[in-house]
Amino acid sequence: MTTDTTTAATTPATTASRTKALRGLTALGGVATVASTFLSWTYTDEFPGDLTVYGYPGGLQVLTLVAGALVLLYALAALDIRGLRWLAPTGTTKALRLLALGAFATTWFTVIAIAVELGGIVNLEPGGFVAAVTSAIPLIAFLLPDDTHKATRPRELPSWAEILIIVAAFGTGLYVVTYGIDTEYAELFTGYMITAGFAVTALFKAGLMARLSGLTTKYRSIAVAAAFVAAAAFPFTQTTDQFTLIAVNILIFATVALGLNIVVGLAGLLDLGYVAFLGVGAYTAALVSGTTASAFDVHFPFWAAVLTGAAVSLIFGVVIGAPTLRLRGDYLAIVTLGFGEIFRITVGNLDGVSGPQVTNGPNGVPNIPDLVFFGYDFGESHTILGIELGGYANYYLLMLLAMILVVLVFSRAGSSRIGRAWVAIREDETAATAMGINGFRVKLIAFALGATLAGLAGTVQAHVQSTVVPEMYVFAGPVPPNSAFLLAAVILGGMGTISGPLIGATLLYMIPAKLQFLQDYQLLGFGLALILLMRFRPEGLIANRRAQLEFHETGQLDTPEGTLPESGVGTVKAGA
């Protein structure tokens, strides 16, 4: 009996000592992983990134170094190092496990890639084997007990410190995104996605992202200004237009996805032909741009071309929506899919042979001149603050302003009376109609507004691409944006939110652009991704509070622990 009492009395102390020892070993594993990146991993520089140098990490070694440093940082936070507990408001164990897995996955991906591309493990230096072993040490974190708890109110910081944290967070985000866009080869981008995916998920699980979200809510105006400055600073980090073009197309794709989010995410209208409105705006801007290939001898100034493209898209939205929005569900989806195909076929037949000479048929409208606004030629390089910006940088900044306009329209509309009517219609149209909401009128407004925003983005796209052809506006194809990609971006990111479709569009554009060998398997990959998403996170990557409570039975009315809610409007329906 005495022995049992002694054992029971010493068990908590023993458990605490064991937990502390495991955390210490995890920290040592992080140090060892970081140290291994300063060794040579391969004999030859034929593998991209030149991993042959001692004392200077390069290529994928940098990603392993970052992952190992994050493991060390959160292991020290788990050991109650003063000041570091702020990084893990809801606990460190889940974050440590994810970070350890990320470091292991990145390192082993690199080692396997070296062996496969160079013809066997004989091409590995001893440093490569050391890295493979040391990256497995932090996996000890999986033996740690779960210390997840409800986030407590942090110690009040001075206002200047909290503002500095916001600025640092957006600066770090700019660097991370820029690094991903600037990756020069597929192996590095794959490693970047592995590291970034595990790291971001770990920060969510640790509750750090929710804490940062609280700070941005507290200092909303400062956070908005910091976000704009960070986004606007991107072209100033580039020396050529090679990667700036990717960023411009991401902004176009994301802007159109956000417009579709009004139709799908707020109003609940499944539109499978939305890319046609992008095409309407692009063709309209191309035909009034003054190009010699246009059937109309007109040359509108920049502001007039933008307004014309948006207005024509609005008209098409009303004309198409008026007779079709009395349908619901799958029937509406089929009709909108038909409209998208009709648009593509029609512009392909307006070639002077099958129909009137308007769009040059399959040849499209080429040689679209660059935009000129108050004497500022967007196609020429300009020096700003001592830094030379190329033509695509000019279009990037223009498209950034267009995105800000779309975000403002989305947020204002979603929070307005008409926005609440959209949500009511999406949740239960019959009940909403019984409460006095004119369902047809409300849905037509959503359809028309979404079409207008798509047309606005299309006017810029036409000048960026300098040509428009029917093959650019299909339901599904190898190059985004198309209707399937746009819908996937909205669902993947999180319907009814602002940042969700932006993140979804960024991922869905960057992955095909960087991993060219996946061109033939894109739809398969997106299908699998959506299946996994609906199984494990049906509310999307970024979801609002109501969506999380709907899809996750937490037994309480607050946000599930370790997640980042967005105060968007509406909820997500699994079958939407």
Per-residue pLDDT tens for 379-407? 777 777 777 777 788 889 888 988 888 88
Which range of 96-110, 380-394, 493-507 scores highest in mean pLDDT? It is 96-110
Q: How far apart are CA 331 and CA 337, in angstroms?
A: 10
pTM: 0.82
Looking at every residue in the chain, the average pLDDT score rounds to 83
For residue 366, is the peptide bond before it cis, meaning its omega torsion is within 30 degrees of 0? no
Q: What angle do CA 467, 470, 473 make, to 5 degrees?
A: 100
The predicted model gives 548-565 an average pLDDT of: 51
The predicted model gives 257-267 an average pLDDT of: 87
How many alpha carbons fall within 13 Å on the CB side of residue 271? Answer: 37
The predicted model gives 146-153 an average pLDDT of: 80
**Sequence-ordered list of residues with C-beta below 8 angstroms from that of 210, at least 6 positions apart, any chain:** 89, 90, 151, 204, 559, 562, 563, 564, 565
How many alpha carbons fall within 13 Å on the CB side of residue 150? Answer: 6
Q: How confident is the model at residue 79 (pLDDT cuts 50, 70, 90)?
A: confident
In sequence order, what E strands does 268-381 have?
A: 372-373, 376-377
Statement: residue 558 has pLDDT above 70 = no
Q: How far apart are CA 510 and CA 499, in angstroms?
A: 16
Select the more confidently predicted residue: 209 or 375: 209
Closest CA to 195 of 297, 104, 291, 293: 104
The 3-state secondary structure of 241-253, one letter per residue? CCCHHHHHHHHHH
Phi–psi pair at 543, nearest 5 degrees: -130, 155
Select the more confidently predicted residue: 143 or 558: 143
Eight-class DSSP state of 378: T
Range in 99-113, 203-217, 249-263, 507-521 the model is least confident about = 507-521
pLDDT value at residue 171: 92
Q: What angle do CA 490, 491, 497 make, to 5 degrees?
A: 60
Share of the chain above pLDDT 70, in %: 91
pLDDT tens, position by position, 210-243: 888 888 888 888 988 998 999 988 888 887 778 8
pLDDT tens, position by position, 12-59: 778 888 888 988 999 999 999 999 999 999 988 888 888 888 888 988
- Contact between 316 and 280 under an 8 Å Cβ cutoff? The reply is yes
According to DSSP, the residues that pair with 387 across neighbouring strands are: 384
